[in-house]
A and B are shown apart, each in its own frame.
Chain A
Amino acid sequence: MAKKKEEQVVYVDSKGKRLDGRKTDELRPIKITAGVIPRADGSAYLEWGQNKVFAAVYGPRECLPKHTASPYKSVIKFEYRMATFSVPDRKNPKPGRREVEISKVCGEALEKAIFVEKFPNTAIDITVEIIDSNAGSRIAALTAASVALADAGIPMRDMVCGTSVGKAGGKIIVDLDKNEEDAPDAVDIPVAMLPNSKEIVLLQLDGILSRKEWDEAYKLAEAAAAKVYEIQKEALKAKYAISKEDEVAPVKGVEG
């Protein structure tokens, strides 16, 4: 039965076009805005195809409860959450197995980039809320969180950027969307890296790839991640391009 379905859907046609008209190495359109949440230390809003993500960074601040603090480094508390309306069926707002796992791996990925040892005994809280999702949301979360961290002025070795690569219909493609992810032979590999040193900070794989296919996939991922990095860079620099005269900055007041 699975075979029949495979024949019905052509994931990459003879011209090298995919279901949504992209080329095999083409990303979905990405839009990032930095500094969208006034009360957060740093924030970012990202649209990656249909994915819509808000990221907010608070800290470095006091690490509570105190037994979670480390006197050697700042603790990264990453929280990945999906809104109930982010998927076609209502999502239970209780954090599930998947969200706990994604929070863990994304937090660890960012910890590699941040100079955590500069802020002992503190916590950096990163909250990412997925407003709309359509495959690749963990990489979208990580990309947005990285921009939010830079916006918060937290010292980092590098930005964190990435894409997913994988296989659908026997072809290696970049940035799979939901349709491609549901292909019978689908392989999905989220890759996140530090763009300047090319260190990989997150890599997960489900499915089976041959060695040759992996080599091809990784090459595509590296090139695509570089594109994502350029978009992050532009987003951060756009915030400081020229401030508009009529734009009023948020007023931060002290109560009492």
Chain B
Amino acid sequence: MTKRLVIPGELVTEERKKLGSHVFVREGKIYSDSMGLVNDEADFASVVPLEGKYMPQQNDVIIGVITAERFAGYSVDINSFYPSFVSKKELREVLKPGSIISAKIMKVNELNEVELGSIRLFFGGEIIQVSPVKIPRVIGKEGSMLNILRDGTGSNIIVGRNGRLWVKGGNTDLLRKGILKIDREAHLDNLTNRISGFLNAENGNKKPVMAQDESLNGEGE
């Protein structure tokens, strides 16, 4: 698997390929529109971005922070372009500025404004923020990374697509370190093994998280 780092305006391919995300066509050639990684063997010409804001999508579950109370509801910071709004009609709980909720995006309009539904209030816990484009790395293939994090730290983790993670219980300091590591090394190969190795080393090999392999080269102190 060869991955190539490209910057905006750099050529992705001269071949005719199906267009994936973060690419555009000029004079029959495909170029990247942001900084990211290209897999040249894939059928789609697409760039996996390394930076960027959260672009709301329907059916995403996000984690929001209440910023203010209005007459009929609350405004919610959803870590996107604009704040969103939750009506008091849909809620049984009384919220305060600083309350943390999870919500599902019911509708996105052409201005990327969102309508929120199925709101749940969180009690306690803390929030870890990562770059929204790295959320797929935090989840891993079919949740593999998330399972490793859960097993390694014993924390409850709820992932919001907007780059926020709500965590409670377990070793949250270690979890924070692990997630920072994912954020930093998201563009490198073999991330899942690196992280399981890291968590193992930090836990002092008290309980093996996963079958260890050669990628465990003494990371961490």
**66-98 of chain B: CB within 8 A of chain A:** 81-83, 97-98
- A2 at the binding interface (Cβ < 8 Å): no
- B120 at the binding interface (Cβ < 8 Å): no
Q: Is the CB of A245 within 8 A of B81?
A: no
Q: Is the CB of A153 within 8 A of B53?
A: yes
Q: Is the CB of A153 within 8 A of B50?
A: yes
Q: A200: which B residues are within 8 A, CB to CB?
A: none
Q: A155-B8, A237-B5, A243-B185 are in contact. Are A150 and B53 (CB under 8 A)?
A: no
State which of A41, A71, A113, A195 has its C-beta within 8 Å of the C-beta of B53.
Answer: A41
From residue B54, how far is it (CB to closest CB) to chain A in Å? Answer: 11
Q: Is the CB of A243 within 8 A of B184?
A: yes
Q: Is the CB of B53 within 8 A of A252?
A: no
Q: A1: which B residues are within 8 A, CB to CB?
A: none
- A154 at the binding interface (Cβ < 8 Å): yes
Q: Is the CB of B65 within 8 A of A256?
A: yes
Q: A196: which B residues are within 8 A, CB to CB?
A: 9-11, 31
Stretch binding the partner chain, chosen from A23-31, A116-124, A216-224: A116-124
State which of B49, B81, B133 has its C-beta within 8 Å of the C-beta of A61.
Answer: B81
Q: Is the CB of B97 within 8 A of A153?
A: no
Interface flags for A192-232 (1: CB within 8 Å of B; 0: not) read: 00111100000000000000000000000000000000001
Q: Is the CB of B110 within 8 A of A120?
A: yes
- B219 at the binding interface (Cβ < 8 Å): yes
State which of A59, A62, A151, A242 has its C-beta within 8 Å of the C-beta of B51.
Answer: A151
From residue A199, how far is it (CB to closest CB) to chain B in Å? Answer: 11
Give the interface size class of chain B.
Answer: 35 or more
**Bound-complex Cα distance A119 to B11 (A):** 24
From residue A29, how far is it (CB to closest CB) to chain B in Å? Answer: 21
Q: A240: which B residues are within 8 A, CB to CB?
A: 5, 50, 187
- A42 at the binding interface (Cβ < 8 Å): yes
Give A243's nearest chain B residue, CB to CB.
B184
**Bound-complex Cα distance A156 to B35 (A):** 9
**11-51 of chain B: CB within 8 A of chain A:** 11, 22, 24, 26, 31, 33-35, 49-51
**Chain B residues packing against A (C-beta within 8 Å):** 5, 7-11, 22, 24, 26, 31, 33-35, 49-53, 65, 81-83, 97-98, 110-112, 127, 129, 133, 164, 176, 180, 183-185, 187-188, 219
Q: 8 additional contacts, CB 8 Å, given A59-B53, A120-B112?
A: A61-B82, A121-B112, A122-B82, A150-B7, A154-B34, A159-B9, A196-B11, A196-B31
18 residue pairs bridging A and B, Cβ less than 8 Å apart: A41-B51, A41-B53, A61-B81, A71-B111, A113-B9, A121-B81, A121-B111, A149-B8, A150-B34, A151-B35, A152-B52, A153-B34, A153-B50, A154-B52, A155-B22, A237-B7, A245-B219, A251-B176
